[in-house]
Amino acid sequence: MSYRRTRAILVKELHHIVRDSRSLAMALAVPVMMLVLFGFALSLDVDRIPTLVYDQDGSSASRELIRQFQGSHYFQILGSVDHYEGIERGIDRNQILMGLVVPRDYSRNIAEGRTAPVQILLDGSDSNTAGIALGYVDNVVRNYSLALRADMQNRKGAGAALPPVDARLRVWYNSSLESKNYVVPGLMAVILMIIAALLTSLTIAREREMGTMEQVLSTPLRPAEMVLGKMLAYFLVGLTDAAVTVIVGLLIFQVPFRGSYLMLGLSTCLFLFGALFWGIFVSAVSPTQLQAYQIGILTSFLPAFLLSGFVYAIETMPAIIQVITHVVPARYFVTILKGVFLKGVGISVLWPDMCFLALYATIVFLLAVRKLNQKMA
């Protein structure tokens, strides 16, 4: 393999990138736009749950219970109704997510020390959100119940009753439980996979359609030199996109960074190698630019978004899908990004993921070279 010929392809591709100013501007602007849009729009936080109250008791005890919900930032009391139809209508029209119903004998049960049931009506069309909301309700009601029990014990002169278990939770790595802290690093993998695959998926198909491939075939250029030269040209654009996404994540979204920039840079380079080589392979097997673009989208965006653990936990997927995720490079890069950004771990923990990215880049490079060799033979 000749360094001179590889460099010539690199310079040729750089000239093409610079001349196509609109494509270059899109390649640099799209990551920022995607990061901002997804970062702000894709929020998994469940708070300020719109709620209507149906207080059948109308007592000071029921109003105190309602104040417990008003004091929690997880709930937003929109108002009260005097019949079940109001709650049902609010849920049907997507105006509320939850209805709180206090029965008529609530205050009497509290005064007599009996169990005082409270009814919660939830919109279960989104099971995940409804489950989280139910957990918030359980927490508010349990804490209020313990406070009532302690107050009743004090009135009887028995002293405050201590709970049998004193649970003290400690959340590591994302103590504020903000979804942006793990969405934004994972989004970086999705963006780079899409941009890298699309940048290179049109290169060879474009030359074939423009008729310049015959001129390239007439030169002593080898397939490996063509693949490396084209990849290195777009690798510089990919590194720029990676730097921009990191800066936006740190400055705009205030995502914590606890790891090593060297580890981040090394893993990003390995991931870009694999993604760019894959784009070249797609371009080599596609007869037209349109087909190359379609295959590039299907093989980059969908796996990176759905099967990488970026949004949906891999552990909750069906067993066969979990097996398929092992061949998705974005899965390993997402793991590395979350480990570097949030946990601050290094190569001693993340070396298996780094090895897979290196192996993936090598395999895809060999496939692209082999396919180009068949085309040039």
Model pLDDT for residues 239-280, shown as the tens digit of each residue: 888 898 899 888 888 888 998 999 999 999 999 999 999 988
| Strand order across the 75-80 sheet | 75-80, 49-55, 98-102, 119-122
Give SS3 for 259: coil
Question: 109-144 burial, b if ≥16 CB within 10 A, otherwise e?
Answer: ebeeeeebeeeebbbeeeeebbebbeebbeebeeeb
Amino acid at 270: L
Query: Are the C-beta atoms of residues 192 and 226 closer than 8 Å to each other?
Result: no
Amino acid at 98: M
What is the widest separation between alpha-carbon atoms in the chain? 99
Return the residue matching tokens 């205030």: 254
Model pLDDT, residue 364: 92
**Concatenated DSSP letters for 171-236?**
--S-TT--THHHHHHHHHHHHHHHHHHHHHHTHHHHHHHHT-HHHHHTSS--HHHHHHHHHHHHHH
Q: How far are the Cα atoms of 198, 226, 278 from residue 281, in angstroms, in the given order?
A: 12, 12, 5
Query: Are the C-beta atoms of residues 263 and 347 closer than 8 Å to each other?
Result: yes
Mean pLDDT: which of 195-199, 205-209, 224-228, 234-238 is highest? Answer: 234-238
- Strands 75-80, 119-122: pairing kind: unpaired
Reading the block at residue 108, the tokens are 């009497």
pLDDT tier at 224 (50, 70, 90 boundaries)?
A: confident
For 49-151, CATH number out of 3.30.390.50, 3.40.605.10, 3.40.1710.10, 3.40.710.10 equals 3.40.1710.10
pLDDT, one tens digit per residue, over 164-208 is 666 677 778 777 667 778 788 888 888 888 888 777 877 777 777
pLDDT, one tens digit per residue, over 290-340 is 888 888 888 888 888 888 888 778 888 888 999 999 999 999 999 999 899
Residue ranges of the domains in the chain?
Answer: 3-43+178-376, 49-151
Give the mean pLDDT of 89-94.
90
Query: Are the C-beta atoms of residues 203 and 233 closer than 8 Å to each other?
Result: no
Please list the residues that pair with 54 across neighbouring strands. 101
Among 294, 283, 276, 286, smallest CA distance to 235 is for 276
pLDDT of 99 higher than 90: yes
Give SS3 for 234: helix
Give SS3 for 33: helix
Length of the chain equals 377
pLDDT of 210 higher than 80: no
Which region holds residue 178: left if phi is over 0, alpha if psi is between -120 and 50, else beta? beta
pLDDT of 91 higher than 80: yes
Identify the DSSP state of 77. E
Query: Are the C-beta atoms of residues 342 and 182 closer than 8 Å to each other?
Result: yes
pLDDT of 120 higher than 60: yes
Task: Report d(CA 49, CA 99) in Å as an integer.
Answer: 10
Give the mean pLDDT of 223-234.
83
